[in-house]
């Protein structure tokens, strides 16, 4: 019912701003614009965050590597932004200490690392306990006993933040909807509509579930389609040249007991690249690569050689692990929508964002980072307001809590964790569930746990929890398919892939019942889920 009503509203409203693309960039713009008083619509051709915004390293970070490229203003801006995003969504943006081992054959010395981390902290305004510490060899070994010891010289220990990119995008959209934005997934931009002066003023969209076209009218249209930005510019006939350079990055996921690191690490690979090893729930994930990509944007596959590259680098740093490809339990690959710079390779191109407005009035935004989504949104909405009539509020997003954020920051997180933990114990769920629920749903986790009893009479408690989550995601987060649920809503496709096989049949029934799916749609959903599991686990 809600989808039907939303699509009717999309057809019947004259919007101030229409955003194409439901990744973090589009979601951030929707929230900023809606909270300043604009009438906002957002359409996403597939599921929210199904593009790059569920395929990142999942860090809200100041970008230490940008310091190496002397991008001081970028480091300063994203450094400050990470503190803001932590304050407005402390459940989704968790502080994590990062260890940077310094080795004999690495590209950093203790001296340069010490200065770089000091500058990094200074630019980001890091205070107190979070400030960087330089460790000697023994201290570094104590922090991470798995490290290769013969070449280890010292370590840098500094503050970063870990997130879930897809959940962050969903929280932004949820908050935008709560503030009046109409957002709809599985609605694609097909064709632009122009006035007599060839200024863009609408869109022919297609409801991908029903294969039905309809029109949306808006004074301003933003192309926030990440890797697809040039495709949309072509639709607008304004793509004289490609503005984007797409860089592919992959991550692999291992069971934590196969690489039992005690904390997150950022280490030298030996070819001037650095990679992350990050513990998460009962896994450790490793990434990433950075190579030019020119293939199909909708079908990105991971190559065996890319997995081998990450495994070799990890085995070099943690020789006792002796990892092989059979240890990889899941993976993901994404495309960085970078702004092309002549003569530069993937690793050299700046991660800066850029806003470019076509003669038709189409506002294009690309580049940038998850971490800088708020500033990108501010830039776009400021531009829109310059030519909008009426009175609008100043920017609101600096201290507006996102959906699920508890009050009182880290204090609120602590008491929420304690209360979830008690409920988890009473329900006899595995202890790690408290962290999982807190970091996925924040305060809404309590609501999910309350509905679990609806399912426990028939199901054992782990399955009942998945069903309670599915109910929440369908009703509150516009989940439309099994893949939306197992991938973007719960991250199970990456961090708990075994739970899919055990639960998919009953979850399919729940989706079929809630969304009135016929037998053919059910079969399509199962096939799409199986294909995604295969893509995540089989490498060509």
Residues of the shown chain interacting with ligand FAD in the complex, contacts defined by CB under 6 A: 20-26, 43-46, 50-53, 55-59, 61, 188-189, 224-228, 249, 288, 334-337, 368-371
Class of residue 125 by CB neighbours under 10 A (exposed 0-12, middle 13-18, buried 19+) = exposed
Q: How far is the CB of 334 from ligand FAD (least distance, A)?
A: 4
Distance from first CA to last CA of the chain, Å, rounded? 42
Q: Which of 161, 176, 197 is nearest to 60 (CA)?
A: 161
Dist. CA 174–CA 374, nearest whole Å:
15
Q: By C-beta, is 59 or 449 nearer to ligand FAD?
A: 59
Dist. CA 336–CA 293, nearest whole Å:
9
Dist. CA 281–CA 263, nearest whole Å:
12
Q: How far is the CB of 280 from ligand FAD (least distance, A)?
A: 13
Q: How far is the CB of 169 from ligand FAD (least distance, A)?
A: 7
Paired tokens of 244: 């984007």
* 397 and 31 Cβ atoms separated by less than 8 Å: yes
Q: By C-beta, is 105 or 296 nearer to ligand FAD?
A: 296
Q: How far is the CB of 114 from ligand FAD (least distance, A)?
A: 24
∠ at Cα 268 (262, 271), nearest 5°? Answer: 150
Q: By C-beta, is 23 or 155 nearer to ligand FAD?
A: 23
Q: By C-beta, is 16 or 353 nearer to ligand FAD?
A: 353
Give the helix/strand (H/E) hosting 57.
none
Q: How far is the CB of 108 from ligand FAD (least distance, A)?
A: 20
Q: How far is the CB of 414 from ligand FAD (least distance, A)?
A: 26
Q: By C-beta, is 52 or 103 nearer to ligand FAD?
A: 52
Class of residue 5 by CB neighbours under 10 A (exposed 0-12, middle 13-18, buried 19+) = exposed
Q: By C-beta, is 160 or 510 nearer to ligand FAD?
A: 160
* 60 and 376 Cβ atoms separated by less than 8 Å: no
* 308 and 472 Cβ atoms separated by less than 8 Å: no
Q: By C-beta, is 20 or 117 nearer to ligand FAD?
A: 20
Q: By C-beta, is 264 or 474 nearer to ligand FAD?
A: 264
37: left (phi over 0), alpha (psi -120 to 50) or beta: left
DSSP bridge partners of 453: none
Q: How far is the CB of 232 from ligand FAD (least distance, A)?
A: 6
Q: Which of 171, 139, 174 is nearest to 153 (CA)?
A: 139
Q: How far is the CB of 345 from ligand FAD (least distance, A)?
A: 15
Paired tokens of 38: 């604009």
Q: How far is the CB of 61 from ligand FAD (least distance, A)?
A: 6
Q: By C-beta, is 58 or 86 nearer to ligand FAD?
A: 58
Paired tokens of 220: 């301003």
Q: What is the DSSP string of 208-226?
A: TTTTEEEEEEEEEEEE--G
């Amino acid at each position: 019912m809600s989808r039907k009503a939303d699509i009717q509203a999309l057809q019947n409203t004259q919007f101030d701003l229409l955003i194409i693309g439901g990744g973090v960039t589009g979601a951030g713009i929707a929230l900023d614009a809606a909270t300043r008083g604009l009438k906002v619509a957002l359409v996403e051709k597939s599921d929210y965050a199904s593009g790059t915004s569920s395929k990142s390293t999942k860090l809200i970070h100041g970008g230490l590597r940008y310091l190496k490229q002397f991008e001081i203003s970028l480091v300063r801006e994203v450094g400050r932004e990470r503190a803001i995003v932590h304050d407005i969504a402390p459940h989704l943006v968790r502080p994590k200490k990062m260890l940077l081992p310094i080795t004999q054959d690495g590209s950093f010395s203790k001296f340069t690392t010490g200065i770089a981390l000091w500058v990094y902290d200074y630019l980001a305004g890091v205070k107190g306990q979070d400030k960087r510490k330089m460790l000697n060899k023994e201290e570094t070994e104590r922090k991470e006993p798995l490290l290769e010891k013969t070449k280890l010289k010292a370590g840098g220990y500094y503050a970063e933040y870990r997130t879930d990119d897809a959940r962050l995008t969903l929280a932004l959209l949820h908050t935008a909807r709560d503030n009046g934005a109409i957002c709809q997934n599985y609605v694609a931009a097909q064709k632009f509509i122009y006035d007599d002066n060839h200024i863009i003023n609408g869109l022919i969209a297609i409801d991908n579930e029903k294969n039905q076209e309809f029109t949306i009218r808006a004074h301003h249209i933003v192309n926030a389609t990440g890797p697809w930005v040039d495709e949309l510019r072509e639709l607008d006939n304004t793509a004289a040249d490609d503005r984007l350079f797409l860089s592919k990055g992959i991550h692999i996921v291992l069971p934590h007991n196969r690489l039992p690191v005690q904390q997150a690490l950022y280490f030298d690979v030996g070819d001037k690249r650095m990679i992350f090893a990050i513990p998460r729930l009962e896994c450790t994930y490793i990434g990433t690569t950075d190579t030019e990509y020119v293939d199909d944007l909708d079908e990105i596959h991971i190559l065996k050689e890319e997995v081998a590259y990450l495994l070799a680098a990890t085995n070099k740093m943690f020789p006792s692990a002796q990892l092989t490809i059979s240890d990889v339990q899941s993976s993901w690959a994404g495309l960085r929508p970078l702004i092309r710079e002549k003569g530069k390779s993937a690793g050299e191109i700046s991660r800066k964002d850029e806003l470019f407005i076509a003669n038709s009035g189409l506002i294009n935004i690309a580049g940038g980072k998850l971490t800088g989504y708020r500033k990108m949104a501010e830039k776009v909405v400021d531009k829109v307001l310059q030519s909008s009539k009426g009175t609008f509020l100043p920017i609101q997003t600096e201290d507006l809590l996102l959906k699920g954020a508890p009050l009182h920051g880290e204090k609120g997180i602590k008491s929420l964790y304690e209360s979830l933990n008690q409920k988890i114990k009473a329900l006899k769920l595995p202890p790690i569930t408290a962290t999982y629920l807190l970091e996925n749903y924040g305060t809404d986790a309590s609501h999910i746990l309350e509905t679990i009893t609806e399912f426990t009479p028939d199901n054992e408690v782990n399955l009942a929890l998945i069903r309670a989550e599915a109910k929440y995601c369908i009703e509150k987060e516009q989940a439309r398919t099994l893949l939306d649920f197992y991938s973007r809503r719960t991250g199970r496709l990456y961090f708990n892939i075994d739970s899919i096989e055990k639960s998919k049949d009953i979850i399919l029934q729940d989706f079929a019942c809630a969304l009135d799916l016929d037998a053919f749609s059910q079969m399509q959903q199962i096939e799409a889920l199986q294909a995604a599991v295969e893509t995540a686990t089989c490498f060509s």
